[in-house]
Every structure is written in structure tokens, then in C-alpha cells.
A = this chain, B = another copy of it.
Amino acid sequence: MKEFFKVTDLKKVLEYASDFTSVETEDVPLIEATGRVLAQDIHADVDLPDFMRSTMDGYAVRASSTFGASEANPAYLSIIGSVIMGESPPFSIETGQAAAISTGGMLPDGADSVIMIEHTEAVDDISIEVYRSVAPGQNILEKGEDITKNAVLVSGGKRLRAQETGLLAAFGQNRVRVYKKPVIGIISTGDEIVPIDKTPGPGQIRDVNMYTLSGLVKNAGADPVSFGIIPDDFDDLLKKCVLALEKTDMVLISGGSSVGTRDFTIQVLAELPDAQILVHGISISPGKPTILAKSSHHAIWGFPGQVVSAMVVFEVVVKPFIEQISGLSVKHKKTIKLHALLSRNISSSQGRADYIRVRLNEKNGVLWAEPILGKSGLINTIVKADGLIEIGLNTEGLDKGAEVEVIPI
């Protein structure tokens, strides 16, 4: 029997991610920053709000003026003015006085709360009846109640969501320093692979993997660049790898699936400048014949040829490396796991992690993961799938009804 791979455990493979440094940073307009990874901590230079604001439409008052007020026994207050939006009120409030104010308006000096308009009735142009009492601080935001000056608004290494972008807008961060989007080169290899606009001859197939990997790279927040299809030729592949490593931050060699291609790939990787073969085979299925090398500080991957295997390898192995070079900080990488119950028994081999494609179905509020049957070479199985479940290294299988974690795909 021939030994093909000296397989490495997935956990060990993932530890290599920290060998790779993040890409450079750039300044971008804040309006384009949602989805990008912030490259530095940003602090609050003022309090937010910077003045006492109303959170309701109503009247700014001293709370004590309303104490004891009820429908049966309303308090009478005199209106001394109206707060103009976006302006500092030129008057102050004394006991027994009120000023009309809108949500977002600035409280006049002397006022400590807002009585909602629904709890008042105008008597005439200059006085109101108040039917409820308010407490000091009610229906207002204190200065600095949302964010206090000098607080960290967003830490470096966090991918900005819409709400973080909004928060940075509140502090006038018109441009922000973010990590560049990593550029990921994709080289397709294999004598049998033809471009998708060609009709494949007998024994040929179109370059499915480059399209699948490009989509996955984009979903991971990086920019894919195709370096075309290289036949199984040592010199051609070596030249193309050198070029791709110069032009990009990481390279994926989308395998032709033949032994020939795999042999070329490993030989080519060994010839690259400053080359180190870190991994040659991973204890996962599908995806075992995956290669990871390091050349001049960049990761370069040899992918398995079958598209299902390639997709599993991307999601489970390569994506964390892309996140690493994207500058994403581990402490901000909150992965929320989706739990489901397995709809049938599945068996698995010990000594490797199996990734099973599943369809998700919700029945009476319970989420079921239904394994999709079919050979791993079938692209239709990942098209039907909503996610992957892992059957761990030391598990022989899982029973129907077992709780599983689902990786959405």
C-alpha cells in the first residue's frame, strides 16, 4: 500500500494561521467603511450626547413641578417658550414653568425632565394641564449618557457593522483607517480543465472551482483575482505561482484533481522562494489532499480538485487564514453557532473530521439538519445544502436527534 499523505490534524493546521501577518492599512471614507476591518482604536473626543436631549415630544419641566399630578388633580404649568431644534434655548425653566420641546431638542437650563405631550392638555396658548408626574431624568438623555468622552468607540480589529459606522459618524470620523481587503489569487490547474466559455471535449470539464472559490473569497470580505488555467506543466505552474505571489496576499491553487497535478503542485511549492511546506494532507473528509505552503510570508494552498471538497476546505480551513490576514482580531470574532437536531443516523470514520452537507428544515419551531446523500463529487449536493455539520475526529457517528452545530454555506 502506498502512503499518500502525512495528514495533519485540523486544529494543528489552524494554528499556522498566526504565522501570517495582516495586510496593510488604508484610509477610506466612512460611508464606504461598513464591512471593513477597523485598523485602530477610535476614542470619543466629546460626550454623546453633548447636551441634555429630549427623547420625547412634550414639555421640558422641573420634575418637582409635576409631583402629585393626576387626571383628577392636574398640575398647571405656564409655557414660557418653545425649544427650536438645533438651537440652544435662550431661556431657563423655573418651578411651575414648561417649554414645548421635540424629540432630540436641547433642554433649557433649569429643566431636568420632559413630560410627554400625551400626558398634557393645552389650556390656552400660555398654560397646560399635566396629568402625570415625571421623575428627574425621565424622557431625557443626560450629557454623556450614551458615550462618555475618551471611551473606546470601536476597537481596531473589529469588522464594522452598520451600527458601528453610525457611531463613528456621530463622532465625525469622516475617514477611517481600515485594513485593505486581502487580494486572493486563484490559479486553476489541470490538463482536463477548459475555460467556461469553451465547450468541453471528451474527458474535459469547465473550470467550476475558480467560480466557486471566487464567490467564497468575496463572501469572506476579500478580492479574488484569477490567474487563468495552467496545464499540468511544472515550469508554467511555477512561473504563475511566482507571479501570483507577487501580485496578491494569498494564493489558492484550484486543483485539477489528477495525481499528476497534485505531484506538480507539491514540487512547485517546494521550489518557491523561501518555501516551507507546512501541511500536506489534513485529517478531514472531504478535503484530505490539501496542501499549505508558506512563501515569502504568504500562504499558498493546493486545493483538492472536487468542487465539494474545495468548498469544505475553504469554509473550514482557508477562511480563518483569510480572516487572520484581514486584520480581524480574535476577540472580535464572535461566531454564533446555529444548532439543529440531526434527522437521521450517520456513521463516520474515527481519526478524521467528517463534514456532512445538510439541508435545514424548521418543523414546529425545531430546526432539523437533514443530511444530503450523494457522492462527494456531486456539485448538486452543495447546491441543495444550507450548511455543513462536523462529525468530530473521535466520533464514530451520530444518532438521529443528536444536537449538531451547523456551519451555514
Contact = CB atoms under 8 A, between A and B. Distances in A.
Interface of A: 1-2, 4, 30-31, 34-35, 48-51, 53, 55, 57, 83-89, 102-106, 117-119, 121, 141, 145-147, 154, 160-174, 190-194, 196-216, 218-219, 226, 232, 256-261, 305-307, 311, 334, 336-339, 360, 362, 365, 367, 375-380, 382-383, 385-386, 403, 408-409
Contacts of A365: 339, 403
A87 B170 contact: no
Nearest to A148: B380
A382 B160 CA distance: 13
B146 A218 contact: no
Contacts of A86: 190-194, 201, 203-204
B203 A51 contact: yes
A141 B336 contact: no
Contacts of A403: 365
A208 B174 contact: no
Contact of A104 (B160, B167, B192, B201): B192
21 contacts: A1-B119, A30-B196, A31-B211, A31-B226, A55-B377, A57-B258, A85-B258, A86-B204, A88-B201, A104-B190, A145-B378, A163-B212, A163-B311, A165-B211, A165-B212, A166-B208, A167-B208, A169-B196, A172-B197, A336-B360, A336-B386
B260 A379 contact: no
Contact of A146 (B55, B118, B196, B377): B377
B215 A161 contact: yes
Nearest to A202: B88
A385 B34 CA distance: 16
Contact of A338 (B167, B191, B338): B338
A305 B103 contact: yes
Nearest to A199: B172
Given A191-B86, A192-B86, A377-B146, A258 B103 contact: yes
Contacts of A197: 172, 174
Given A102-B260, A174-B196, A211 B85 contact: no
A232 to B, nearest CB: 7
